A = this chain, B = another copy of it.
């Protein structure tokens, strides 16, 4: 379940502000730490974690701003996560001469640990309910007035509570689609470095064909280290490393940050997904995939340079195709329809709740009109992304905090600044490819005669425009970006950089569209979201979990295979199985170090295993924790049935895929030897 940096923005398109709760059953649920259903767990498994256990797990859990989860596993800031969560870091630290992604990386000393551009590690330190303050700020309002009042209140709360933005970060999270607002306070570490990573092929053995599949033979694990003031961080807590095999049926907890789910979408929202968003997303991303594949075919350099983006695109595509399949399965959608019908029945006659479904229907109807321009008015590419962030940051910083766009408030700016100013390699051909693709898709879907198409293209063709903007831009130079960031609006407006000028040209229209969306879509959804949440709490009580929001959650479950078309899928694989599955040809070719060390590898070591934990993209890298509070694996994927998990959890089929600590230990000992790291893990 790769959830790479470059893809986060794509996946984020699916985020909705109407994330509502469902009555949970059988291992279902991405629970908040302040709403953990201990009784339910005890009833099912005869045991449940106590507060101390939960606190330890929470304090050891790390969120990676690149879009992943992780955990501290030593007292010196060592972080366990997935290989695919550090792939961008490996990529950004690579050159054609030294390909760290292909070859893997073992830092022999602390000095050799390599900085990861744009990456930041965050640990939750407190969760505070601020529902009353936020809701009362917009009481009686609707449309854009509502979203403005809400965003202003959130900005104020965040600014008040995190005055030291160098070490803390505050985020007010909207839960239950506006039914709850919680302030999450984080200790943040903005210097994250690479410690150890296996070869890419060891992590991606089976490649895209095996992604979201099981049985699986993947070493999708890596280690990072958090630094502060040039020294390793000593975290408050860390998990004990336990390199043992899982036992079938044992209770497991996954602690991490599921990115987004849409489990309580109303029928009209689901129809919009199925009829509009998913078909467009799959068609356009498929074309991007094809453009990348052929462009990377030209040379080994391009194959390397495009690899990270292609992995992200293929992963996203598999997600969206899986969602399409789920929403085209009448049996699956009938359950969702029945759940809505039940809630409607239970809420009938409650005048406080009224008919929020009609409000959502109307909002979705408007959204159908605004969707295409809103989607296509922002072209793709790293350089355009920089330009847009620079332009918006300059404009928004000139305003009082409460009036700024959400991503540009005092509390949000430090991470944005880091992401814009961190040095990282830019490959112009790749930027041109993305820009040209996205502009041509804009013209295709909006039509050649559309006003937004004309704004985007003028009289140029997508190819010409992309070439002109990318070849003329200096934004690949981090110093130049810093100069513009620090120079503010005056520097931006004076810049002759064509990409900056292009971002300035699009900005007013983007702002107008955002305003229209707030007025007729986001505002009404937030208002209706509150009533829908009330309906759920009234109908099902308060043991409910909110839709995922890329904030810390805990899920419980057990180590367990499943039955696929009448055949039992085993709960684990062994490292020796890799050699049976290898064909010698990509993506089923052995990683060179696996081939070289075959004699040293114990074939019986548990490699990957599956559990019933309920997770989703963003959970990548989450520690899988046993009753004792030790880490026994890192979640890195779901099985193919987990893709429908965006809309609903199926306990019979939905599985989390984990790389075992036993396999990582074996790799550290026998394949990519790292004695210092082993000692550190053992020392705890």
Contacts and interface: CB of A to CB of B under 8 A. Distances in A.
Interface stretch (A91-99, A205-213, A645-653, A654-662): A205-213
Contacts of A284: 286
A-side interface mostly: helix
Interface stretch (A5-13, A291-299, A629-637): A291-299
A387 interface: no
- Residue among A284, A295, A448, A464 with the most chain B CB within 10 A? A448
Nearest to A443: B209
A433 B294 contact: yes
A447 interface: yes
A584 interface: yes
Contact of A585 (B213, B287, B297, B464): B464
A675 interface: no
Interface stretch (A24-32, A275-283, A346-354): A275-283
Nearest to A589: B461
Contacts of A329: 275
A209 B585 CA distance: 40
A460 interface: yes
Interface string A213-244: 10000000000000000000000000000000
B289 A585 contact: no
Range for the number of chain A residues in contact with chain B: 35 or more
Interface string A68-99: 00000000000000000000000000000000
Contacts of A433: 294
Given A448-B209, A584-B459, A588-B448, A321 B288 contact: no
A138 B328 CA distance: 37
A290 interface: yes
A292 B290 contact: yes
Contact of A444 (B208, B291, B447): B208
A302 B279 CA distance: 30
A448 B206 contact: yes
A294 B460 CA distance: 19
Interface in A221-278: 271, 274-276
Contact of A287 (B290, B463, B584): B290
B461 A586 contact: yes
A583 B282 CA distance: 31
A210 B448 contact: yes
A388 interface: no
Given A283-B286, A298-B298, 14 more contacts: A208-B444, A209-B444, A209-B447, A279-B324, A283-B283, A286-B287, A287-B289, A287-B293, A290-B294, A292-B294, A294-B433, A295-B297, A459-B584, A461-B585
The 5 closest A-B pairs by CB, nearest first: A290-B290, A294-B294, A286-B286, A275-B328, A290-B291
23 contacts: A209-B444, A209-B448, A213-B447, A213-B448, A275-B328, A276-B328, A279-B321, A282-B282, A283-B286, A283-B321, A284-B286, A286-B287, A290-B291, A290-B292, A290-B293, A290-B294, A292-B294, A294-B295, A294-B433, A459-B583, A459-B585, A463-B586, A464-B585
